[in-house]
Amino acid sequence: MANETTSSTLSELFENITQEAIFTFQETSVMRPLVTLYPIVGSGKTVEVPVYPAITASAVNEATDLTNTAVNPTSQTITASEVGVMTTLTDLARDSASRNVGADIGKLFGEAIAKKVDTDLATLLDSFTTNTLDSGGGVELTADKLFQAQAILRSLNVPAPYYGVFSPKAVFNLKKTLTQAGYNTNANAISEIGNEALINGYVGRVAGIDIFENANIAINANDDSAGGVFHPIALGLALKEDFKVETQRDASLRGTEIVASICYGTGVIKENYGVRIISDSAF
C-alpha cells in the first residue's frame, strides 16, 4: 500500500527529531562555548572545582634555601539537576501533517533546552560584584566601557581570551556609536568595526573582547540589564548528562512520547575574573 506507515519511515521521523534537536541546541546556545565545562564522571551529581590562589615569586640569594610557599586552594561546588521537556505525537497528527513533524519538534525542543541553559548561565553575569561598572544603571554601553573592563581584567593579571555578553538592546547603543564613528570623515581606530556593524549588524571584537548578544539576559523594570566581560574560567558548567532525545511508543494512545532532557549545573568559579556592566537597555 502506498500510504502505509512502516518501521523505516518511523525510524526516519525520530532520527529527524534527534538530529534537528541536537543541531538546534548546539547552534542556539550562546553561553555554553564561552564558559568552562566540567564533566561529572562516575557516581554523584556534584563537582568540586579547585580555585588556586595567586602565588608570588621573590628574589633569592645564591646558595640560599627557598622558603616554602603553602598552596591552599579553595573550591566551588556545582550541583547538577535535570531539565526536560516532553510531548506526545499522535499517529493521526503525524500522518496528516504536511510538514516534517519530526524536524519541527526537534527544533522546538533544542531551542527550549538551549534557552534554559543559556538563561541560567547569563544570570551569573550579575554575580561579578567585585568589579562593576555603572552599578547605578541608566548608562549606555559604549566602547569606552569595554576598554575600562579590559583594563580592570588586565590589571588583575587575568589572561585572555575575554568574552563580552550583553542584551541585544544594550548592544544597540554600542553599534550606534560605532557606526557613527564609521561615518566620521576623520576615520579613527574603530571605524572599520563600525562599518561592519552597519553592514551586517555584527560588532565582533572591541578592545580585545569578543562581543556576543544574548536575548536571554533579563531586563529589569528600570530598563537596565546586567552584562559582563569575563575570562572562561570565571563561570562553570557542570555536565552530568548532555542533551539527549528519546522516544517511547504508547500503543493504547496511538502515539509516541518524545522526551528531551539534560542534566547540568552552573556556578561562578572565579568571580574576580569577570566585570559586570550594568547598561541601559531601552531604545
CATH of the domain at 200: 3.90.1690.10
Q: What is the C-alpha separation between 13 and 10, in angstroms, rounded?
A: 5
157, 162, 167, 171 alpha-carbon torsion, rounded to 10° = 100
Contact yes or no for 191/181 (Cβ under 8 A): yes
pLDDT at 196: 53
How do residues 85-130 score in pLDDT, each as one tens digit? 998 888 888 777 667 777 788 888 889 999 999 999 999 999 999 9
Residue 203's pLDDT band (boundaries 50, 70, 90)? low
Q: Is 234 exposed, middle or buried (0-12, 13-18, 19+ CB in 10 A)?
A: buried
pLDDT at 5: 43
In a domain, 124, yes or no: yes
Q: What is the C-alpha separation between 222 and 49, in angstroms, rounded?
A: 36
Cell of residue 44, nine digits: 554523584
Q: Is the pTM of this model over 0.85?
A: no
In a domain, 58, yes or no: no
In a domain, 206, yes or no: yes
Expressed in percent and rounded to 5, the helix, strand and coil fractions of the chain are 35, 30, 35
pLDDT at 239: 94
In a domain, 174, yes or no: yes
In a domain, 264, yes or no: yes
In a domain, 269, yes or no: yes
Count the domains in the chain: 1
Mean pLDDT of the chain: 83
Which residues, 6+ apart, have CB-to-CB distance to 165 below 8 Å?
A: 30, 31, 34, 122, 125, 212, 213, 214, 217, 227, 228, 230
Q: Which amino acid is at 274?
A: G
Tell me the chain's radius of gyration from C-alpha atoms.
24
Domain that holds residue 105: 7-52+74-280
pLDDT at 9: 47
How do residues 29-83 score in pLDDT, each as one tens digit? 889 999 999 999 888 899 998 888 878 888 888 888 888 888 888 889 999 999 9
Neighbours of 193 (CB within 10 A): 22
Q: First and final CA of the chain: distance in angstroms?
A: 59
Neighbours of 56 (CB within 10 A): 6
Mean pLDDT across the stretch 5-33?
70
Query: What residues are paired with 267 via a beta bridge?
Result: 236
In a domain, 69, yes or no: no
Mean pLDDT across the stretch 195-215?
72
How do residues 150-186 score in pLDDT, each as one tens digit? 999 999 999 999 999 999 999 988 888 876 654 444 4
In a domain, 66, yes or no: no
Which residues, 6+ apart, have CB-to-CB distance to 42 below 8 Å?
A: none
